Amino acid sequence: MNFLVLGGAGAIGSVIVRDLLSNSKVEQVVIGEIDRDRAVRLIQSINDGRLSFKYIDVRRVDTLTEEMKKYDVTINSTWFEHNLEVTKAAIKARAKLIDLGGLYYMTLKQLELDGEAREAGASILIGCGEDPGISNVMAKYTSDKLDEVNSILIRDGDRDLKPLDKPVFKFSVKTMMDEWTKNAIIFRDGRYEEVPPLSGIEEFEFPQPVGRIKVAFSLHSELATIPSYIKKGLRYVDFKINYDFNMVETLKKLGFFSDRKITINNSEISTKDFTIHILRNCMLDPFTDEIDDAACILTKTIGRKDERDITYTMYALSTSRKELKASASSYLTGVPASIAAQMMAREEIRFNGVKPPEACIPAEKFMQNLKNKGIVIGERIEIIW
C-alpha cells in the first residue's frame, strides 16, 4: 500500500504519517508539503526508509492530479479551504482521497461534485477525522439501532490535564477564527437555521478525564451531511464544542475579530488577519511542545425502539501520545484518517463519488480499528419504560 499525505508534516498530518508507518504492510508514505524544512525534520525524527518528501503545492491542480495517480490513497490534511481544489484533482486523477472536513460550507461545495466523481470512478471520502469523522460514524451506528430517531446531539470536549505555561492552539487558527466568528448551523424541525457563533453555552458532562466543561454552538461539517443520510424521522441535529470562552469574548470586545483595515509598516491588513497572524505564534509545535491532555467526541442519539423512548450515547476518548508527539485531539483526528485510508486501499470501504463517513464506512470494523489503536469507545443506553 502506497500513500500520499498532503500537509503531512503538520500537527495532524504527522500523526497520520506515523500511524500509516506502524503497519508493516505499508510500502511507501510520501509527505506532500510546501514546507521542506518541517518535512525533513519529521522524516529525520521518524527514520523509516519507507518515508519520503515531495514538494507539492495543492493549489496547482494539474500537477497535483498527476501526482495523485501514483498512490493507492491520498490523504489531505491541509487547511480546509484547499479541499475543493484537492477534490477536483482527485476526480481528474480518478483517485481515492480522504480529507478531514470542510467546516460546513466547503463540505456542501464538495458534495456538489458527487455526480462528476461517480462518473470518473473517483472515491472521495470527506470529513474523516475526529469530528467530522468519528462523530458521523457513531451517529449512524446508534441511529441504525433505533426504530425512530428524533435528535442527534454532537459534543466535542478537550481538557488540559497538566497546566500549560502559555496558550497553545491545537489546530488551525484560521479554522478556529471561522468557528468564533461565523454563524453556526443547526437542524431543527426539518429545516436548517443559523444561530450566533458560540451561543447556547451549556455545561456538559463528558467521560473522565475530560469531565464537566462548557460547550457552545459552532459551525461544523456534520450538519451538512447527517440530516441527509440519517432519516427515521430526524428532527434536530446540533454540534457544540468547548473553547476558552472568556478569551474569545475578550478578543471580540477589543475588536480583534473586525474586518476593519489597519496599516502596519505601509501595508494594509484586516484586523482579523492580523489577529490570526499573532495567534499562529501559539500554534502547537509537535517537536517542541509537550501536551498532556484528553479529548472526547460524543454523540447522543434520542429516539425510540420497540415503542420505548431511548437515549443512545456513544463516545470516543483519547489522551495525548507523547511517543507520537500528538495532542489528544490530533490523535483522535489523525488516526481515523489513517484507518480509513488503509481500509480504502484494502477495498474494505468501496464506493464511487463524494461521500461522508456515515454513507460508506462499515461502522463496527472502523470502531474496532479505533479500539486497536488505544482509543476508548464507550456506549450507554438509557431506556424510559
Tens-place pLDDT, residues 312-349: 999 999 999 988 889 999 999 999 999 999 999 999 99
Rg (alpha carbons) of the chain, rounded to whole number: 20
Q: Rounded to whole angstroms, how far apart are CA atoms 307 and 313? A: 19
Task: Provide the angle, in degrees to the nearest 10, between the axes of the packed helices 245-253 and 173-181.
Answer: 70
Q: Rounded to whole angstroms, how far apart are CA atoms 146 and 139? A: 11
| Grid cell at residue 366 | 472502523
Query: What are the φ and ψ backbone dihedral angles of 102, each rounded to 5 degrees?
Result: -125, 15
Please, which residues have CB within 8 angstroms of residue 11's CB and are 6 or more apart in sequence?
170, 171, 283, 284, 285, 286, 326, 327, 330
Q: Which of 371, 374, 343 is nearest to 357 (CA)?
A: 343
Q: Check residue 291 and give its pLDDT.
A: 84
Q: Check residue 283 and give its pLDDT.
A: 79
Q: Check residue 24 and give its pLDDT.
A: 95
Same fold yes or no, 2-129+330-363 and 134-328+372-384: no
Q: Check residue 282 and give its pLDDT.
A: 76
Tens digits of residue pLDDT in 164-212: 777 788 778 888 899 999 999 999 998 999 999 999 999 999 999 999 9
Residue with cell 506502524: 22
- The residue extents of the domains of the chain are 2-129+330-363, 134-328+372-384
Q: Check residue 306 and give its pLDDT.
A: 92
Q: Check residue 216 and give its pLDDT.
A: 97
Q: Which residues pair with 99 in a beta bridge?
A: 76
Q: Check residue 70 and give its pLDDT.
A: 96
Where does 2-129+330-363 sit in CATH, by number? 3.40.50.720
Q: Check residue 239 and give its pLDDT.
A: 98
Q: Check residue 322 and give its pLDDT.
A: 87
Query: What are the φ and ψ backbone dihedral angles of 18, each rounded to 5 degrees?
Result: -65, -40
Q: Check residue 325 and give its pLDDT.
A: 82
Chain-centroid distance, C-alpha 348: 21
Q: Which of 121, 127, 38, 39 is nearest to 83 (CA)?
A: 127
Predicted structure pTM score:
0.94
Q: Check residue 102 and give its pLDDT.
A: 87
- The CATH architecture that domain 134-328+372-384 belongs to is 2-Layer Sandwich (3.30)
Q: Check residue 44 and give its pLDDT.
A: 94
Spans of the chain below 50 pLDDT: none
Three-state helix/strand/coil letters over the chain: CEEEEECCCCCCHHHHHHHHHCCCCCCEEEEEECCHHHHHHHHHHHCCCCEEEEECCCCCHHHHHHHHCCCCEEEECCCHHHHHHHHHHHHHHCCEEEECCCCCHHHHHHHCCHHHHHHHCCEEECCCECCCEHHHHHHHHHHHCCCEEEEEEEEEEEEECCCCCCCCECCCHHHHHHHHHCCEEEEECCEEEEECCCCCCEEEECCCCCCEEEEEECCCCHHHHHHHHCCCCCCEEEEEECCCHHHHHHHHHCCCCCCCEEEECCEEEEHHHHHHHHHHHHECCCCCCCCCEEEEEEEEEEEEECCEEEEEEEEEEEECEHHHCECHHHHHHHHHHHHHHHHHHCCCCCCCEEECHHHHCCHHHHHHHHHHCCCEEEEEEEEEC
